[in-house]
Amino acid sequence: MIAGISLNIPDTTKPRVVIIGGGFGGLNLVKKLPLKEFQVVMFDKHNYHTFQPLLYQVATAGLQPDSIAGPLRNVFSDKPDYHFRLLKVLSVNCAAKTIETVAGTLSYDYLIIASGSRANFFGNTDVQKLSFPLKTIPEALNLRSQLMQVFEIAGITNDPAQKARLMNIALVGAGPTGVETAGALAELRKYVLPKDYPDLDFTKMNIYLIEGSSRVLPSMSEYASTKAKKSLEKMKVIVKTNSFVDGYDGKTVRLKSGETIEAQTVVWSAGVTGDILAGLALDSIEHGRILVDHHCEVLGTKGIYAIGDVASMESSDYPNGHPGVAQVAIQMGTYLGKNLLNFHLRLPVNPFKYFDKGSLATIGRNKAVADLPGNLHIAGRPAWYVWLFIHIAYLIGFRNKLLVFINWIWSYITYDQGNRLIIRPFIRKDDKLGQEIALTNELE
């Protein structure tokens, strides 16, 4: 605990609900909670909600970060007895029913763990240090700065090998994030970068998409995978399936097959693991997720619930738990928000049932794939329209919906991305040339 600060949460006679995380799960939980019956305290490391499905557009200069973020204080400013604290929860004491932060200890009646997930590097520390994950807005801004900076440096280097390496980009993991980022980079290469850097030959820029399974979008249908791969290859993305990354030294990606790829930028979206809270019993954690029952309550506990990416609810339909997608978090948050008072009053509650509303992925302009309920699969422009509508509909706040819509209309008409500013330079510790240039330019 840090001296001189405290949580300053008012005492209450109502049951106190502590929520860790302001993502899709936490946000929808608070929306549905009867706040007259509870005191709600939300903790998050950021003071905003992030619309994660569009992070790749921030990273590829399509959107500004404030277009996909909403302040957590403002969202619930009209809610009685709602309190937000910009703090990381360090641990939980299940027996004492308290959580620990740097600002002190807080008791709870109900604890909701909605902390989401983080990139899983599977123990490869070199890849973790040198690649770019894409789970938060700061990470998206780091990647955007990296992308713009490598082209700036490529324009002034006289070493052909270094120029080629600077212009190459490798994306590891061909799920929706990898596929959508690859498509966005391919469109940048075709429509935007040649205008910004006329001295560079972008026909020599290679975009690699590396996937360990036998197809891209492995969580979607075979139809979606086939269509997406065909579109990506038409956009000259080099797709490598059945390929696993063995290591990366900042310049060369090594595959387990022995093949190497020269690339100064590696984007990592090959897997995630739950952001687990310290203090939970080890037997309630499996494969990086917290095991919960069919009411979202953490196994072996009372009054502690987990929802969204961090939770694993096993069932006959989902023996390995639900997929780590926004809809699961939204539906779990809504379910718990509607039923927490019934749990408190010990009234009977039906178990959680996930309704799969389908899966979407966009590859680029007029190109998308969609698996919809009723075993309906579509691709191309119709799927792209569905993707546009769904993503705008689920953005937080009218302002963000309007900003994103205007940005997309502008980009569609002009074939341009207007957010290619290096506002916050990011230089990797191993990038000696970048460090020298930054030092000379006093970019700190």
Rounded CA gap, 7 and 101, in Å? Answer: 9
Give me the residues paired with residue 210 across strands: 172, 240
Sheet holding 311-312, edge to edge: 285-286, 289-291, 311-312
Helix (H) or strand (E) holding 231: helix 222-234
Tell me the C-alpha to C-alpha distance, in Å, between residue 99 and each of 33, 308, 312: 21, 20, 22
Rounded CA gap, 326 and 135, in Å? Answer: 13
Q: Looking at the chain, how many residues does it have?
A: 444
Sheet holding 98-101, edge to edge: 91-93, 98-101, 104-107
Q: Among 417, 419, 421, 422, which Cα is nearest to 190's?
A: 417
- Of 139, 180, 187, 211, the catalytic one is 180
Question: Is the distance from CB of 144 to CB of 61 less than 8 angstroms?
Answer: yes
180 catalytic per annotation = yes
Strand residues in 270-382 grouped as ranges (E): 272-274, 285-286, 289-291, 304-306, 311-312, 359-364, 367-372, 376-379
Structural tokens at position 279: 């203090």
Question: Is the distance from CB of 231 to CB of 368 less than 8 angstroms?
Answer: no
Question: Is the distance from CB of 423 to CB of 435 less than 8 angstroms?
Answer: no
Helix (H) or strand (E) holding 390: helix 381-394
Structural tokens at position 402: 């309007």
Q: Which residues are catalytic?
A: 180
